[in-house]
């Protein structure tokens, strides 16, 4: 790190899919960034791109544990904390549900206390999962959700709901300035091929000729946001000065069925892989689409990358990744032309 006196942005979970894109965007804006990550679900190769920046450093630690000295000794310089630390793919966060819950509750508490001591602004990456299997459609921030607190998704859904509750309590009590982003399905280059989510699964299966797995009958819907759009929203939210402490949905409101997504992937890859239908996971939400009017009004933010362009970039990246592991993330300029 060359600048030893200026402000520091801490990104917990910065080696993960969204976190690594966020770190890069912050570094490109001239920030000094410390990435804190336990490398549980992240790709260490994501760090290699970031380590080219002199203003980047990495600390391996799990936010469930007391924060390491490497971080604490820089408390007075930390002025922004992004908390993206948590496994986010259903098979990954369900593999160790206790750890998922503790990451969201104990880990968020550790970071909020750091924000309090540092006088730093804190952004929580929350999730559309706080709406559960929603009865209201599209989902507005004032919808309180329909979550099964005893099901296999609860460790993540209820963990994030508890993290939101804690963040807003810190804000109400004047202990920290907080922002809460409710992130909807996000995709793009640098996803882990074994992540387990639908975009990476379908593309990797199609490219490698393995059976393509569709859960349920494929009529369930999701709304997929390209990662550069999401990152722009996170930074805009962090830097905004909202009048009230409220969560903000960040996602792409273009809703499609999983079968429609399959159609795009089949057309783009030209695969002859077989499609197999498997049982729908328990509590799998039937419909999901963000109402983004709050983000549009407060942040002047909306997604810009269409599904066709974003999926093509993601397919191209996975094609390179599966063949040789070469990092070929498209530069943002190549995507800017495409408006939803
Ligand atoms: N899904 C699928 N095939 C897969 C992985 C997921 O059909 O290989 C379905 C999943 O059941 C869900 C949707 O795709 O209905 C999105 O799943 P994902 O795990 O990407 O994210 P979620 O929105 O459920 O957290």
Q: What are the Cα distances from residue 231, in Å, to 19, 121, 192, 226, 310? A: 9, 17, 18, 9, 14
- State the Rg of the chain over Cα: 19
Best residue among 154, 222, 289 to mutate for probing ligand 1's pocket (most ligand atoms within 8 Å of CB) is: 222
322 vs 204: CA distance, rounded Å:
8
- Return the SS3 of 284: coil
Tokens of 136: 């209201």
**Same-fold call for 8-186+226-250 versus 187-223+253-288+305-323:** no
55 vs 78: CA distance, rounded Å:
14
Is the CB of 127 within 6 Å of ligand 1? no
Best residue among 183, 188, 197, 218 to mutate for probing ligand 1's pocket (most ligand atoms within 8 Å of CB) is: 197
Q: Is 156 a catalytic residue?
A: yes
pLDDT along the chain (340 residues), means of 10: 80 97 98 97 91 97 98 98 97 97 98 98 98 97 98 98 98 98 97 95 96 98 98 98 93 98 97 97 97 98 98 96 54 36
Is the CB of 197 within 6 Å of ligand 1? yes
| Length of the chain (residues) | 340
CA of 260 to the centre of ligand 1 (A): 13
Provide the sign of the torsion angle of the four alpha carbons 92, 98, 99, 100, taken in this order. Answer: positive
Tokens of 11: 């990104």
CA 42 to chain centre: 12
83 vs 93: CA distance, rounded Å:
16
Instruction: Please count the other Cβ atoms lying within 10 Å of the Cβ belonging to residue 142.
Output: 10
- Residue with the smallest CA separation from ligand 1 atom 5 is 198
Say yes or no: domain 187-223+253-288+305-323 is CATH 2.60.40.10.
no
CB 286 within 8 A of CB 223: no
H or E stretch at 176: none
Task: Look at the domain 8-186+226-250 and name its fold.
Answer: Rossmann fold (3.40.50)
Q: What pLDDT shows up at residue 324?
A: 58
Q: What pLDDT shows up at residue 107?
A: 98
127 vs 108: CA distance, rounded Å:
14
CA of 140 to the centre of ligand 1 (A): 22
Q: What pLDDT shows up at residue 3?
A: 57
157 vs 148: CA distance, rounded Å:
9
- Domain boundaries, given as residue ranges, for the chain: 8-186+226-250, 187-223+253-288+305-323
Q: What pLDDT shows up at residue 322?
A: 87
């Amino acid at each position: 790190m060359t600048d030893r006196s200026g402000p520091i942005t801490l990104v917990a979970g910065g080696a993960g899919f969204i976190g690594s894109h966020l770190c890069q965007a912050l570094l490109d804006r001239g920030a000094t960034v410390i990435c804190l990550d336990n490398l549980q679900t992240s790709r260490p190769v994501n760090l290699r791109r970031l380590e080219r920046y002199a203003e980047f450093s990495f600390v391996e630690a799990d936010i469930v544990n007391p924060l390491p000295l490497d971080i604490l000794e820089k408390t007075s310089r930390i002025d922004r904390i992004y908390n993206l630390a948590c496994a986010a793919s259903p098979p990954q966060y369900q593999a160790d549900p206790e750890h998922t819950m503790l990451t969201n509750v104990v880990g968020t508490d550790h970071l909020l206390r750091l924000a309090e001591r540092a006088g730093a602004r804190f952004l929580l990456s929350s999730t559309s999962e706080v709406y559960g299997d929603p009865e209201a459609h599209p989902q507005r921030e004032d919808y309180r959700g329909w979550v099964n607190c005893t099901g296999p998704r609860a460790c993540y859904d209820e963990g994030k709901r508890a993290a939101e509750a804690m963040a807003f309590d810190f804000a109400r009590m004047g202990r920290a300035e907080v922002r809460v982003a409710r992130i909807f399905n996000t995709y793009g280059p640098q996803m882990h091929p074994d992540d387990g989510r639908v975009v990476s699964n379908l593309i990797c299966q199609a490219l490698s000729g393995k059976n393509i797995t569709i859960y349920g009958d494929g009529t369930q819907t999701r709304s997929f946001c390209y990662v550069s759009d999401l990152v722009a929203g996170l930074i805009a939210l962090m830097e905004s000065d909202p009048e009230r402490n409220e969560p903000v949905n960040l996602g792409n409101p273009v809703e499609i069925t999983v079968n429609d997504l399959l159609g795009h992937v089949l057309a783009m890859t030209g695969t002859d892989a077989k499609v197999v239908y498997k049982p729908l996971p328990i509590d799998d939400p039937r419909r999901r689409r963000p109402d983004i009017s709050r983000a549009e009004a407060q942040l002047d933010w909306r997604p810009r990358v269409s599904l066709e362009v974003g999926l093509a970039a993601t397919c191209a990246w996975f094609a390179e990744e599966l063949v040789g592991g070469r990092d070929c993330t498209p530069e943002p300029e190549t995507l800017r032309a495409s408006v939803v």
